[in-house]
Structure 1
Amino acid sequence: MSIVELGRFMDDLADASGKAILPFFRAQFGLDDKARGGAPFDPVTEADRAAEVVLRAMIGQTFPGYGILGEEFGAERLDAEYVWVLDPIDGTRAFIAGLPTWGTLIGLTRNGVPVRGLMHQPYLGERFTGDGRHARLRGPAGERTLRTRRCADLGQAILATTDPRLFAEGEEAERFRALEGQVRMSRYGADCYAYCMLAAGQIDLVVEAGLKPYDIVALIPIVEGAGGRVTAWDGGSAANGGRIVAAGDPRLHEAALKVLNP
């Protein structure tokens, strides 16, 4: 399959998952807590499951030899050269609350390295794509190239994280608070949308902890394709999730790592 055909197939995946999800958004639907009453609340909805079923079926028919890692239905053939990494609704809490800051994440790795990524927000009609070298946004206003903005100084930066309470109390939370104390402004609750706004030059820094591969793999080629950097807090690969820092400017990324690794 050519690069163009792969892009069309990913668009087909986004279209199909959007059709499965949208009937549930701002409507009544079934909801479970994967934490089984523990903390933190880990919701999954009928929409999450319906979309992943569709995605897996399409991938299995078109790429039967590829692996799949999805949030709701686990892993298949992770030893394959190519593995699809899926999060049908990243930002389920926002979805439950009727807020449009969730998205469907569709990523592709080759030998463990993220090589293609797509974030689809079907309610807003926005689609962010990247291959690590280029990144694009298609939406109601048309199509454009994504570029991160230049910002080398923490004191001028806008930082985003999903929820500061998700950092483990102790050293992890202290490191985050130390970094947050140096930035101009911070925003909470945007999940995958924050990374896309970083790629679009609206946000400068995203810092997270406790991520799974399906939370981040699709976003890495988008951010890096727009000129940003995404790593673990120790500077290593972010592909396995965990503690993540993404920055639009490599100089800001370096400055953030110094605070997160005193």
Structure 2
Amino acid sequence: MIMLQGVRLLDPQSRTDDIRDILLAEGKIIRVGEALWLDASLIARAKGEVLEVFDCAGLCAAPGFVDGHVHFRDPGQTHKEDILSGARAAAAGGFTSVVCMANTTPPIDSEARIVENIRKGRTTGIRVYSASTISQGMQGEALVDMKLMKESGAVAFTDDGRPLNNEALIREAMQKARRLKLPLSFHEEDPRFVKEPGVNSGPAAERLGLTGADRQAEIVMVERDCHLARETGAAIVIQHISAKESVELVRRAKQSGVRVYAEATPHHFSLTD
């Protein structure tokens, strides 16, 4: 029997963020509370077991983390990462569930490819889920068979890495995704406002002799997709959001009942250009 003493418990379900003791037996949590030492000793003695106590001051305990946007580069670019190495890295960081993006080489746009990725994920020791592309070949011209992809195991749809410019295609995708009860995740970067991707338009770009990517590239597409999500009732995710105007658009959409979510990478919310 093991007791984690004085650990900072972070539990979103019970909205707990406080110091607690956690008692475990046979790999399972059997009690959580304050000052459990006496109770834990009595329980261990009654079971004829030894109680191991670990001082966890300064440490945190939390449910397994979920990363809804990972790139395991499998298939096609496994010299960068593959499903096994990515899952090991995730587990080392406390992540027990991940969702792989579909912009692999070739992309995950067929039943066979998604089934293979899910099969590999089952060997890793964590839960590895996979998204499907929205469009065939990530070309933005025709939708994948979204119903078949869900039946094959897809948990979301995304052409991450490439923006979708065809509004009629996006509306159709949102309508189908709503019926399938799966979210769509969007890479919001209108190419009309991007001279060189990867650098923000501003003083730093100018010093390098570049034009860069104007913040409007993101803003106009976030505004468009929030509007379409309101119209269709779809659930959408704005990927790696970076402009304050985009954040405000998402905030207002949420307040009006739109099912829109957003995520940011650490460098987007902690660094300037």
The answer to which structure, 1 or 2, has the higher relative contact order (CA under 8 A, 6+ apart) is: 1
TM-score of the two chains, using structure 1 as the length reference: 0.28
TM-score of the two chains, using structure 2 as the length reference: 0.27
